[in-house]
């Protein structure tokens, strides 16, 4: 990943995280746009739902912001101890964000398709984090890095969802919001995972090509 792409990802993550912090924790979170849209389909939201939403926002924001630093090779090489510390914080963010996200998914707008889409997102988010943690404990660093890339592609759904949402509202209007949200429940993360897998495959091919070149040099 080149510097411009990495900076774009990082800045996008920080902007979305900052927006969420301002909307939910500095201003009145109960009046946030997402909550108001939710109230369009439900007359009342439980206190427990609000609690899970705020937990989800807070922990997901942490994971979203520090994720790029856990993936940075240069940062890891220069700050290995700090890398491990923020990696642990990242995993805690995924744990609480994933569990709260799974609860929220069962109450998602968009009917069964919407609920299923966000449920899969939460389950895969938790599963990929578990795999990344298991691989690093087994000292399989390359496998750990692959699972971290997959995991952050799911974390980044927080950004892509907010790109698709206004676009769908603009194209189809608020009257079709429930239908649009059912599609966004999948569109927010499935393309991310596909791109992540293509990126992993590209890195793998580059590594194999480098090994072949090294072997050819030794043969000479």
CB 13 within 8 A of CB 161: no
pLDDT at 72 over 90: no
pLDDT at 217 over 70: no
Task: State the DSSP H helix or E strand holding residue 119, giving kind and residue range, or none if neither.
Answer: helix 111-137
List, for residues 24-53, the tens digit of each pLDDT value: 888 877 777 777 777 666 667 788 988 999
- pTM, two decimals, is 0.88
Distance from C-alpha of 7 to C-alpha of 148, rounded to nearest angstrom: 18
pLDDT at 216 over 60: no
Distance from C-alpha of 15 to C-alpha of 11, rounded to nearest angstrom: 6
Could you say which DSSP state residue 31 is in?
G
Confidence of residue 207 (pLDDT cuts 50, 70, 90): low
List, for residues 128-167, the tens digit of each pLDDT value: 999 999 999 999 999 999 999 999 999 999 999 999 999 9
Confidence of residue 57 (pLDDT cuts 50, 70, 90): very high
Q: Give the model's pLDDT for residue 163.
A: 93
List, for residues 95-136, the tens digit of each pLDDT value: 999 999 999 999 998 899 999 999 999 999 999 999 999 999
């Amino acid at each position: 990943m080149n510097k411009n792409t990495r900076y774009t990802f990082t800045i996008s993550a920080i902007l979305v995280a900052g927006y969420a912090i301002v909307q939910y924790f500095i201003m009145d979170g109960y009046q946030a746009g997402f909550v108001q849209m939710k109230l369009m389909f439900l007359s009342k939201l439980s206190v427990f739902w609000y609690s899970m939403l705020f937990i989800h926002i807070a922990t997901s924001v942490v994971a979203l912001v520090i994720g790029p630093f856990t993936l940075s090779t240069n940062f890891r090489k220069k700050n290995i101890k700090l890398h491990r510390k923020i990696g642990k914080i990242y995993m805690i963010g995924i744990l609480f964000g994933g569990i709260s996200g799974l609860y929220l998914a069962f109450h998602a707008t968009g009917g069964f398709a919407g609920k299923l889409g966000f449920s899969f997102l939460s389950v895969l988010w938790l599963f990929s984090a578990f795999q990344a943690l298991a691989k690093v404990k087994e000292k399989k660093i390359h496998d750990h890095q692959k699972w971290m890339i997959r995991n952050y592609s799911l974390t980044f759904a927080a950004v892509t969802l907010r790109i698709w949402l206004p676009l769908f509202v603009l194209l189809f209007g608020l009257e079709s919001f429930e239908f649009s949200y059912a599609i966004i429940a999948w569109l927010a993360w499935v393309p991310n995972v596909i791109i992540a897998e293509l990126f992993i495959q590209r890195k793998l091919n580059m590594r194999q090509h480098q090994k072949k070149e090294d072997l050819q040099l030794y043969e000479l």
